[in-house]
Amino acid sequence: MNEQNPFFTRYNTPHQTIPFNLIRNEHYEPAMMEGMRKQDEEISHIIDDPEPPTFENTIEMLEKSGDLLDRVTTVFGNLMSADTNDEMEAIAEKMMPLLTEHGNNITLNDRLFQRIKSVYEQKDSLHLNKEQEMLLEKTYDGFIRNGANLSETDKGTLRKLNTELSMLTLQFSQNHLKATHQYELPITREQLEGVPEHVIASYAQNAKEHGKEGFIVTLEAPSYMPFMKYVKYRDLRKELYMAYNTQCTHDDGFNNIDIVRKIVNCRLQIAQLLGFPTFADYVLKNRMAENKENVFQLLNELLEAYAPAAKKEVERITKLAKETEGADFELMPWDWAFYSNKLKEKEYDLNDELLRPYFELSQVKKGVFGLASRLYGISFMENKNIPVYHPDVKAYDVFDKDGSYLAVLYTDFHPRKGKHAGAWMTNYKEQWIDQDTNSRPHVSVTMNFTKPQDDKPALLTLGEVETFLHEFGHSLHGMFANTTYASLSGTNVYWDFVELPSQFMENYVTEKEFLNTFARHYETGETIPDDLIERIKSAANFNIAYACLRQLSFGFLDMAWYTRTTPFEGDVERYEKEAWHETQLLPAVEGTCMSVQFSHIMSGGYAAGYYSYKWAEVLDADAFSLFQETGIFNTETAASFRENILSKGGTEPPMQLYKRFRGQAPTIHALLKRNGII
Active site residues per annotation: 471
C-alpha–C-alpha distance, residues 411 and 442, integer Å: 11
Distance CA(234)–CA(554), nearest Å, equals: 26
Tell me the C-alpha distance between 60 and 435, whole Å. 13
Give CA–CA dist 627/375, Å, rounded.
11
Of 502, 480, 489, nearest to 619 (Cα)? 502
Give burial (CB, 10 Å; 0-12/13-18/19+) of 222: buried
Q: Round to whole Å and give the CA distance between 260 and 646.
A: 35
Do 248 and 256 meet the contact criterion of CB atoms below 8 Å apart?
Answer: yes
The dihedral over CA atoms of 78, 81, 82, 83, expressed in degrees to the nearest 10, equals 100
- Would you put residue 425 in left (φ > 0), alpha (ψ -120 to 50) or beta? beta
Burial per residue of 354-376, b for 16 or more beta-carbon CB atoms within 10 angstroms, e otherwise: bbbbbbbbebbbbbbbebbbbbb
Sheet hosting strand 394-399, strand order edge to edge: 379-382, 394-399, 405-412, 442-446, 424-429
Three-class SS state of 438: strand
List Cα–Cα distances, 308 to 161, 311, 312, 577, in angstroms: 44, 5, 6, 21
For residue 245, what are the contacts with CB-CB under 8 A and spacing of at least 6?
Answer: 333, 589, 592, 593, 594
The answer to whether 575 and 261 have CB atoms below 8 angstroms apart is no
H or E stretch at 426: strand 424-429
User: DSSP 3-state assignment of 418?
Assistant: coil
First and final C-alpha spacing in the chain: 66
Distance of CA 493 to the CA centre of its chain: 14
Angle, in degrees to the nearest 10, between helices 152-182 and 86-107: 160
**Residue 561: how many CA atoms within 13 Å on its side-chain side?**
32
